[in-house]
Each structure stands twice: as structure tokens, then as C-alpha cells.
């Protein structure tokens, strides 16, 4: 009798263990699937939040887009290319490196004040990148611009230093 009870007890214990391990396995499976789903959604969000230029990125030749898509007097930022494409009132293009010529912080375009501003030590630059307010010692550097088949190309692999803006720096379609 005692032996029979012990056998019953052992059988019950085995069954409990089996159920427990099945339950644990299910929990583990659900946990793993949830973690994968979170990673996938997070990865997708990061992809869409990433700032993008039309084509190309810093250090390469960036295709900024068709010349006619940039109105006269416009400033368009290309975060991946680290430059601003400026189109003067007479239609000339200039690609300004976003790096401040003082100590290298990134400038921002303030449309309401029509200036580039450096948040580090308050240098500012005019529409063509000339120094308006020091300590920046010289105009923002530029990148070579070419226009091929109506497309504006900016070579971000070769920055060009300059003291000031001159009219011959503008490139026309």
C-alpha cells in the first residue's frame, strides 16, 4: 500500500515537472518573440528617423537634385553631406561646409535672420558664408559644385578654404 502511494506520488511529481517545463518553454518562447518584435520595430524607427540626403553622403559626390528645384534666394541643408546648398538671387550655386571656421562646431541656418549661426561661441555668417560676427576668422569653407544634365552635384570629398566670398565662387546652370 505504502509502495503504491509512493509510486503514485512519483508519477504525479514527474507529470508536474513535465508541465512546468512546458510552461517554462512557452514563457521563454513568448519572451524571445517579444524581444525580437521590439528590436524590429526599434530598428525600423531608427531607419526612418535617420536624416537623409537625396543621394550620397559626406566624403562622396552628393547628387543634390535638379537645379530648377532650388529657387533663387534659397538655402537647403543636406545633413548627410554636411553642407548647405545656397542659391543666390541671380541663380548661382554655392555649397557651404557646415563646419564653423573658428573651432569646428556645426552652424545652423536661421532663415528669419538670414544668417548661419554657430552655437559654440556665437560666430555668425551671412547668406554667402562671409563672417558677420567673429571669433570665426574667415568665411565658411565651400565644396566644389558642378551641374551635369541639370543635376546639381556637390563634391564633399574636397573642401575649399577661402577668406571671403567673391562672385566667381558661384556656379551657374
CB-nearer residue toward ligand FES: 23 or 121: 121
Contacting residues toward ligand FES, per CB under 6 A: 100, 102-105, 118, 120-121, 123, 135-136
CB-nearer residue toward ligand FES: 54 or 105: 105
CB of residue 77 to ligand FES, shortest distance in Å: 17
CB of residue 80 to ligand FES, shortest distance in Å: 21
CB of residue 103 to ligand FES, shortest distance in Å: 4
- Residues 28 and 24: their CA atoms lie apart, in Å, by 6
CB-nearer residue toward ligand FES: 85 or 118: 118
Angle at 99 between CA 97 and CA 102, to 5 degrees: 130
Amino acid at each position: 500500500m505504502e509502495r503504491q502511494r509512493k509510486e503514485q506520488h512519483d508519477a504525479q511529481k514527474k507529470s508536474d515537472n513535465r508541465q512546468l517545463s512546458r510552461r517554462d518553454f512557452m514563457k521563454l518562447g513568448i519572451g524571445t518573440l517579444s524581444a525580437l518584435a521590439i528590436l524590429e520595430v526599434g530598428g525600423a524607427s531608427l531607419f526612418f528617423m535617420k536624416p537623409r540626403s537625396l543621394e550620397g553622403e559626406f566624403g562622396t559626390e552628393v547628387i543634390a537634385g535638379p537645379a530648377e528645384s532650388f529657387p533663387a534666394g534659397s538655402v537647403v541643408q543636406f545633413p548627410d553631406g554636411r553642407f548647405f546648398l545656397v542659391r543666390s538671387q541671380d541663380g548661382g550655386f554655392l555649397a557651404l561646409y557646415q563646419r564653423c571656421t573658428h573651432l569646428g562646431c556645426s552652424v545652423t541656418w536661421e532663415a528669419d535672420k538670414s544668417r548661419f549661426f554657430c552655437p559654440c561661441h556665437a560666430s555668425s555668417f551671412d547668406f554667402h558664408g562671409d563672417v558677420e560676427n567673429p571669433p570665426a576668422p574667415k568665411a565658411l569653407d565651400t565644396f566644389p559644385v558642378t551641374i551635369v544634365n541639370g543635376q546639381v552635384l556637390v563634391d564633399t570629398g574636397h573642401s575649399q578654404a577661402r577668406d571671403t566670398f567673391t562672385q566667381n565662387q558661384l556656379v551657374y546652370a
